[in-house]
């Protein structure tokens, strides 16, 4: 649940546009640093780790609407610079396969990259404190914390953007005006498609109608001045209702992700702990390579780092 599974067109333009901007700047910067640092020979590793994350993300655990991400494993193996590029690659391929929207690709890259970076930093930090003998518990804690943090980030993004259709976005989503009307005969046949359609006949309320049928039916009896006052009152009422709906929706969204999320975090934590434990036992050079390499000899079976 760590990246956004929000369809295109739900979040406001400024938010997903900002996501794209941040993601592009981060990916270009990471690309430039990677080329300067001459870690090009790690491109194949970057590709297989990204592919592994993609294979994992494509297998959904249906009852809890969760899929494993393997982001912390990716972060630990790739390091911070390549993690940003991996996050972008994974999101591009997922968006093209219809898994997640194209507009939210930037925000998703930011969230996944944050998860990988946070996972990497927590894992390294905790290993520095508790030692390499405790790879499994450290990996578990790092994964759960990273996933909890990025889920909170996700809720924050949704709260910032506003969820679902609000007064801001849903001009065309007015069930009361969705009807079967004949454009050539001024209502020779008119069928209410959704509840509340008939009361609007002959009225011109622009985009302000939101389905308050009783109020609209009564409007015909008022004078012009009364109309204006009522419209003002209605607009205030709508603004307040919209704000309250937004808060409720964000609260509901947070409740759902914080209820389903922890099951997924624990599953992913266990998987990450065992995988990293297995890798550190069988091929420690992969995890402790580079500046993390011990000065002593390598255990049997360790062919060293791919660096």
Residues in 204-263 at the binding interface with another protein, rule: CB under 8 A: 204-207, 209, 245, 249-250, 252-253, 255-257, 260
Any contact of residue 267 with another protein (CB under 8 A)?
A: yes
* 173 makes contact with another protein (CB under 8 A): yes
* E strand residue ranges, the chain: 60-61, 66-67, 179-181, 190-192
- For residues 171-203, one letter each, b for 16 or more C-beta atoms within 10 angstroms of the residue's C-beta and e for the rest, the string is eeebebbebebeeeeeeeeeebeeebbebbeee
What is the C-alpha separation between 50 and 73, in angstroms, rounded?
11
58 vs 218, beta carbon nearer another protein? 58
**Residue number with CB closer to another protein (148 or 258):** 258
Closest approach of another protein to the CB of residue 36, in Å: 10
Q: Which of 124, 132, 137, 181 binds another protein (CB under 8 A)?
A: 181
Residue with smaller CB distance to another protein, 124 or 164: 164
* Residue in 15, 23, 26, 54 binding another protein, rule: CB under 8 A: 54
In whole angstroms, how large is the CA radius of gyration of the chain? 26
Question: In angstroms, what is the minimal distance from the CB of 221 to another protein?
Answer: 22
Nearer to another protein, 47 or 128 (CB): 47
Segment 111 to 150, residues that bind another protein, using CB under 8 A = none
Q: For residues 232 and 54, what is the distance between their CA atoms, to the nearest angstrom? A: 52
Q: Measure the CA–CA gap between 225 and 129, rounded to whole angstroms.
A: 73
List for the chain the helix, strand, coil content (%; round to 5).
70, 5, 30
Q: Shortest Cβ distance from residue 249 to another protein (Å)?
A: 4
* Touching another protein, residues 87-116 (CB under 8 A): 88-90, 92-93, 95-103
> Tokens 């889920």, residue?
151
Distance between CA atoms of residues 77 and 46, nearest Å: 9
CA distance 61 to 103: 25
Count of residues of this chain found to bind another protein when the rule CB under 8 A is applied: 98
CB of 233 to another protein, least distance (A): 20
In this structure, are residues 257 and 151 in contact, taking their beta carbons and an 8 Å threshold? yes
Min dist. Cβ of residue 244 to another protein (A): 10
Q: In which residue are the tokens 């609209």 written?
A: 216
x/- mask, another protein, residues 28-47, rule CB under 8 A, reads x--xx-xx----xx-xxxxx
Name the residue nearer to another protein (CB basis): 97 or 239.
Answer: 97
135-161 and 224-282 helices, crossing angle to 10°: 160
């Amino acid at each position: 649940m760590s990246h956004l599974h929000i369809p295109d067109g739900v979040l406001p333009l400024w938010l997903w546009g900002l996501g794209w901007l941040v993601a592009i700047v981060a990916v270009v910067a990471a690309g430039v640093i990677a080329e300067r640092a001459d870690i090009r020979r790690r491109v194949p590793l970057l590709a297989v780790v990204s592919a592994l994350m993609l294979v994992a993300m494509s297998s959904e655990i249906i009852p809890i609407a969760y899929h494993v991400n393997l982001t912390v494993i990716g972060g630990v193996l790739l390091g911070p610079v390549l993690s940003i590029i991996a996050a972008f690659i994974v999101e591009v391929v997922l968006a093209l396969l219809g898994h997640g929207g194209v507009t939210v690709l930037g925000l998703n890259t930011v969230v996944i990259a944050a998860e990988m970076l946070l996972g990497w930093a927590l894992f390294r930090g905790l290993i520095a404190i508790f030692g390499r003998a405790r790879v499994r518990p450290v990996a578990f804690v790092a994964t759960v914390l990273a996933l909890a943090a990025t889920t909170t980030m996700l809720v924050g993004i949704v709260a910032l953007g506003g969820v679902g259709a609000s007064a801001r976005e849903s001009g065309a989503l007015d069930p009361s005006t969705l009807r079967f009307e004949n454009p050539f005969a001024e209502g020779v046949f008119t069928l209410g498609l959704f509840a509340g359609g008939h009361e609007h006949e002959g009225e011109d309320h622009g985009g302000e109608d939101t389905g308050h049928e009783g109020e609209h039916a009564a409007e015909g009896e008022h004078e012009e001045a009364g109309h204006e006052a009522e419209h003002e009152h209605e607009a205030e009422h709508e603004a307040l209702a919209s704000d309250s709906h937004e808060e409720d929706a964000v609260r509901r969204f947070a409740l759902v992700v914080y209820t389903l999320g922890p099951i997924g975090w624990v599953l992913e934590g266990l998987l990450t702990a065992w995988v990293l434990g297995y890798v550190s036992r069988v091929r420690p050079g992969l995890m402790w390579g580079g500046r993390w390499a011990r000065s002593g000899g390598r255990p049997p079976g360790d062919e060293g780092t791919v660096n």
